[in-house]
Chain A
Amino acid sequence: MLHIKCPHCGMRSQNEFSYGGDATVKRPALNKEVTDQEWDNFVYNRVSPRGKHLELWQHLSGCRQWIKVERDTATHEIFNTYKTNEEIA
């Protein structure tokens, strides 16, 4: 069982959360010519690293806020959690 510290509600069990994927993926800027490659990278291509991974989770059965979680994909250790608008060093 993962225990995720929601930055709004505190430590909660995995059961309350739903996963939202890689949080480092950025949508191409608006009002700009976007190449096929850029769209590909945004929609389909993923690094999926073994190790530290910054990802989106939603506290679905809690405050319903989306949050960012920094987690190890090999050990499942959670290093830190952030609000979505928080600056990450």
Chain B
Amino acid sequence: MQKYSIFSLVKNALTGHQNWDLAWKDPNPKEEYDVVIIGGGGHGLATAYYLAKEHQITKVAIIEKGWIGGGNVGRNTTIIRSNYMHDENGLFSEFGMDLWRKMSQDLNYNVMFSPRGIINLAHSDAQMNAYARRGNSMRLNGIDAVLLNREEVKEIIPMADFSDNVRFPIFGGLMQPSAGTARHDAVAWGYARQADSMGVDIIQNCEVTGFEVSAGKIKGIRTSRGNIKAKKVGLCVAGSTNILAEKLNMTLPIETHLLQACVSEPVKPVLDKVVTFGAGHFYISQSDKGEMVMGGDLDGYNSYAQRGNLPTLQHVLTEGIAMMPFLSKLKMLRTWGGIMDMSMDGSPIIDKTHIDGLYLNCGWCYGGFKATPASGWTFAHTIAQDRVHELNAGYSLNRFSTGHLIDEKGLGTKTWIS
């Protein structure tokens, strides 16, 4: 594989950029693989990369119905954080933060990781208490957390509404300084390029139509481009999990829902943090191009549409304007939607299944993008070793029947409620 560097850039500039290698190939599916990963999103690509890198398993195929990077890895708001209270989520995400910090070097691909910090705003004394508790839990797990009072928040984001007569006054906030953003497409492309270079076949435009299971063991998959035999199969398909589960006669604690995001027209640098509104569900950051990147609530009803409705967008942006009134002056540039695999406790599932050789990675709800490296790393471990790693031991499929839920937000089984 061609290494990307200033020298290769100069060399190729001199030859008119005609001699760059393809970043990844476009192979036809082979007859058999050791591991087939279904879903060429961030998590699937990362899984294949870590299978090859950490476990030396390279007879791997990624089967993608569309094109890589066309699903949620290209539709999210690029936020990376580990500001969780529960141990399972905190330790898992903080392990991921380490992988994020090293990712550009590791992949030889600039993912533009920008640890600019995230602030969750608090709008009441009770919320400040809850944030203090969460911050303490984070620090016990080695995650940086700073509780800010109103004046300290004002110092950092003076453009927020600090006037006297507001419905949700800012009491303070909880900041994770090491959180941030990254260039989402680059994450998909970086993983794809490295996985490809280690022998992984990335097979695009290939829809999975069924599974070959005999005597409780996975034997292979059926696809729109023929049957593929596989010793192990990993499902990594986010919002499409239920569609594939149905083909396996599995019913999962997952519902597929629609989440929208939007960007404004680009403006000069105004916001150098990720900020979330605490009295509703709204988050904002500014991209390197200057666009304000915003998102919030789910549309709230089961949907596979990948496009949203205006009432939710209006509701979300109303919260945004309540938090930062200057947003009302901006024009909207783009809005889009993606489909989320909403689990029944708001936490993901990375586990084996009752079918031998079939592994499940789903339930990422609002937080799939930031989990990309940790999810790929632990899923690769689970597949390669046929047992869960301690980092994803809590993300078991049977926690719903045993009662070991990881209900970070305390929403109960209706995680789609807004």
**A21–B327 CA distance with the chains assembled, in angstroms:** 33
Q: How far is the CB of B149 from chain A (nearest CB, A)?
A: 36
Query: Is residue B246 within 8 Å, beta carbon to beta carbon, of the partner chain?
Result: yes
Q: How far is the CB of B146 from chain A (nearest CB, A)?
A: 36
- Determine whether the beta carbon of B401 is less than 8 Å from that of A46: no
**A41–B3 CA distance with the chains assembled, in angstroms:** 51
- Determine whether the beta carbon of A1 is less than 8 Å from that of B253: no
Q: How far is the CB of B259 from chain A (nearest CB, A)?
A: 14
Bitwise, B379-418 to A at CB < 8 A (1) or not (0) is 0000000000000000000001100000000000110100
**A75–B303 CA distance with the chains assembled, in angstroms:** 8
**A44–B252 CA distance with the chains assembled, in angstroms:** 8
Also in contact, A15 and B311, with CB within 8 A (given A44-B413, A45-B253):
yes
User: Which residues of the other chain, A, contact B305 by a CB distance below 8 angstroms?
Assistant: 73-76
- Determine whether the beta carbon of A73 is less than 8 Å from that of B246: no
- Determine whether the beta carbon of A2 is less than 8 Å from that of B309: yes
Partner among A15, A39, A49, A74 whose Cβ is within 8 Å of the Cβ of B242: A49
Q: How far is the CB of B294 from chain A (nearest CB, A)?
A: 20
Query: Is residue A19 within 8 Å, beta carbon to beta carbon, of the partner chain?
Result: yes
**A14–B312 CA distance with the chains assembled, in angstroms:** 10
User: Which residues of the other chain, A, contact B291 by a CB distance below 8 angstroms?
Assistant: none
- Determine whether the beta carbon of B303 is less than 8 Å from that of A76: yes
Also in contact, A46 and B301, with CB within 8 A (given A1-B309, A14-B309, A19-B416):
no
**A18–B400 CA distance with the chains assembled, in angstroms:** 26
Query: Is residue A43 within 8 Å, beta carbon to beta carbon, of the partner chain?
Result: yes
**A14–B309 CA distance with the chains assembled, in angstroms:** 10
CB proximity to A under 8 Å, residues B250-287 = 251-256
Chain B interface category by residue count: 20 to 34
**A37–B255 CA distance with the chains assembled, in angstroms:** 18
Closest residue of chain B to A45 (Cβ to Cβ) is B251
User: Which residues of the other chain, A, contact B304 by a CB distance below 8 angstroms?
Assistant: 50, 73-74
**A1–B401 CA distance with the chains assembled, in angstroms:** 37
Query: Is residue B300 within 8 Å, beta carbon to beta carbon, of the partner chain?
Result: yes
Query: Is residue B302 within 8 Å, beta carbon to beta carbon, of the partner chain?
Result: yes
**A13–B312 CA distance with the chains assembled, in angstroms:** 13
Query: Is residue B243 within 8 Å, beta carbon to beta carbon, of the partner chain?
Result: yes
CB proximity to A under 8 Å, residues B293-345 = 300-305, 309-311, 344
- Determine whether the beta carbon of A44 is less than 8 Å from that of B253: yes
Query: Is residue A34 within 8 Å, beta carbon to beta carbon, of the partner chain?
Result: no
Also in contact, A48 and B413, with CB within 8 A (given A55-B302, A76-B305):
no
Additional pairs, 20, CB under 8 Å, beyond known A1-B310, A46-B252: A2-B309, A13-B311, A14-B309, A19-B301, A21-B302, A43-B400, A45-B253, A45-B400, A47-B251, A48-B256, A49-B242, A49-B246, A50-B243, A50-B304, A53-B302, A55-B301, A55-B302, A71-B301, A73-B305, A75-B305
List residues of chain B with CB under 8 Å of any chain A CB: 242-243, 246, 251-256, 300-305, 309-311, 344, 400-401, 413-414, 416
Mind listing 20 A-B residue pairs with CB under 8 Å? A1-B310, A1-B311, A13-B311, A15-B311, A18-B300, A19-B301, A21-B416, A37-B401, A41-B251, A44-B400, A44-B401, A44-B413, A46-B253, A47-B246, A47-B251, A50-B304, A71-B301, A73-B303, A74-B304, A76-B305
